Structure 1
Amino acid sequence: MIHPAISLPRLIAHRGFSAQAPENTLSAVRAAKEANCSWVELDVQLLGDGTPVIWHDADVARCSDGRGALQDFNWASASKLDVGSWFGDSFNGERMVQLKTMLSLLDELDMGANLELKVNKGRDAIALVDRVIPMILDALPAERLVVSSFDLNALKRTRELAGPDRLALGSLFTSLPPDWAKRCQAVTAYSIHVHWPRLKRAQAQAMREAGYQVLCYTVNDPSAFEPHWAWGIKSAITDVPASFQRFLGDETTQ
């Protein structure tokens, strides 16, 4: 199967450089760029009014000065939230980011993105896909884009909207299920993204032999992860790319 000619880096900054700046913000992506990261991983959801935003949680409590479910906010109310002060005083006044704004920044910085379709409990996967995927396809070249999700319905609908030659899809798993191959085949996946502490060497080998790129999340200990590179892992999604860069040295971009 023909996929876009993607050149994944060894390191992908998780929610931007989220150890350096508040996650899923413009500041986090700029910090990743300044740290010589060429790719970031970001989460995409819809507000209650259908506005696509870069956000991970089902609510806003952890990463803002507000309270309430994300779906209960429209853009007028969400845009007033301070999403930076929880991280540090230097980020006071940081605002939630619309997808369109983030896509513009990624294009400006010539960065690649693993955009996760975040389908939290009770949310409509199809509505998310139908709103988000056309925007993404219009904004970024196929060579700098992977769309991933834990939600199989979201991935299936995405594949209906874009063939494998136009959009690379990543199947996300916490633990690799027995039917992983069937699930990946159903969406003509390009990559498999797994929680690294639960990954076994034989599983990594099987995925690689089946033709998939293997990405691991969220990897924040370069030394503990070191043996896994020999398993054929393509990329580590990490909060601390600078620590990895120091550990790997000249191997970082290989």
Structure 2
Amino acid sequence: MLHPDISLPRLIAHRGLSSRAPENTLVAVRAAHNAGCSWVELDVQLLGDGTPVIWHDAGIRRCSDARGRLADLDLPAARRLDVGGWFSDAFRGERIATLDEMLTLIDELGMGLNLELKVNRGRNAEALVKASLPATLEALPPERLIVSSFNDQALSQARRLAPASRLALGVLFEGVGRGWQKRCAGLEAYSIHADWRRLNRRGAEAVKGDGYALLCYTPNDPTAFTHQWQWGVDAAISDVPDRFIDHLS
């Protein structure tokens, strides 16, 4: 199967450099770039008015100065949120990033993007893909993009919009258990993204033996993760990628 010619880095910054800046923000992506990261992982979902924004939770309480559901906000209301002050005073006044703004920044920085289609409970997977994928495909070349999700409806819709030669799809798993091969083959997947705490050698070797790229989320202890590199893991999606530098050899 022909996939984009992606040169995966060993380390991908999770939600931007989320250990040093508020997650999923423009400033977190700039921080990742300044720290030497060439790829970031980010989440996209829709506001109530259908605008794609970079955000992880169904609610806004954890990462802003307000409460409520993201689905209840339109763009003007979302723009009023302070999404940096919860992290530290240094980031007070940071605003939620639209997908378009984030794509512009990533392209300007020449970075790669693992974009997770975040389908929270009660949200429409097909609407998310239709609103976010065309702009993403237009903004970034195939070799600098992986679109991933836990949600098979979102992944199937993404595949209908773009062939495997144009779009690398990543299938998210907690544990790589029974049925993973059928699921990935049906989606013409490029990569498997597994919870590093639930990955074992047998699963990793099966994934690599079938020719998939293997990414792990979210290891933050390079010593504890050392043996997983030996299993053939291609990339670690980490909050603290800088901690891993001295351990990659």
Instruction: Give the shorter-chain TM-score range.
Output: over 0.9
Structure 1 stretches lacking a partner, 5+ long: none
Q: Which runs of 5+ in 2 are unaligned?
A: none
Secondary structure of the equivalent of 2:43? strand
Structure 1 position 242, deviation (Å): 1.1
State the match for 1:231 in structure 2: 231
Does 2:30 match 1:38? no
Q: Is the Cα–Cα contact under 8 Å of residues 4 and 143 in structure 2 kept in the other structure?
A: yes
Cα offset for 1:241?
Answer: 1.0
Aligned partner letter, 2:115: L
- Once residues 56 and 169 of structure 2 are traced to their aligned partners in structure 1, the CA distance between those partners, rounded to angstroms, is 19
Q: For residue 116 of structure 1, give the secondary structure of its aligned residue in structure 2.
A: strand
Residues 226 and 247 in structure 2, CA contact (< 8 A), matched pair in contact too: no
> What's the counterpart of residue 187 of structure 2?
187
Q: CA deviation at 1:247?
A: 3.5
Matched residues in 1 for 2:247 and 2:22: separation? 24
2 CA distance for matches of 1:96 and 1:6? 29
Question: Structure 1, residues 6-36: CA drift from partner, whole Å, max 9, x if none?
Answer: 0000000000000000000011000000110
Distance 1:103 1:192 in 2: 23
How much has 1:122 moved relative to structure 2? Answer: 0.4
Report whether the alignment pairs 1:57 with 2:68: no
- Which residue number corresponds to residue 164 of structure 2? 164
- Whole-Å Cα distance in 2 between the matches of residues 15 and 206 of structure 1? 28
Q: Deviations over 1:187-230 (max 9, x none)?
A: 10000000001001000000011110000000100000011101
SS of residue in 2 equivalent to 1:13: strand
Q: Show the counterpart of 1:26.
A: 26
Distance across 1 between alignment mates of 2:8 and 2:17: 17
Taking the aligned partners of 2:207 and 2:227, their CA distance within structure 1 comes to 17
Identity of aligned residues (%): 61
Q: Normalising by the residue count of structure 2, what TM-score does the alignment of the two structures yield? A: 0.99
Q: 2: distance between equivalents of 1:177 and 1:26?
A: 35
TM-score (norm 1): 0.97
Task: Please give the alpha-carbon distance, in whole angstroms, between the structure 2 residues aligned to 1:240 and 1:90.
Answer: 19
Equivalent residue for 1:98? 98
1:82 and 1:165 mapped to 2: Cα distance? 39
Task: Give the aligned residue type for 2:113.
Answer: A
1:207 aligned residue:
207
Give the secondary-structure state (helix, strand or coil) at the position aligned to 2:93: coil
Segments ≥4 residues shifted beyond 2 Å: none
Distance 1:24 1:119 in 2: 16
Cα deviations by residue, 1:100-144 (Å, 9 ceiling, x for unpaired) = 000000000000000000000000000000111101010000000
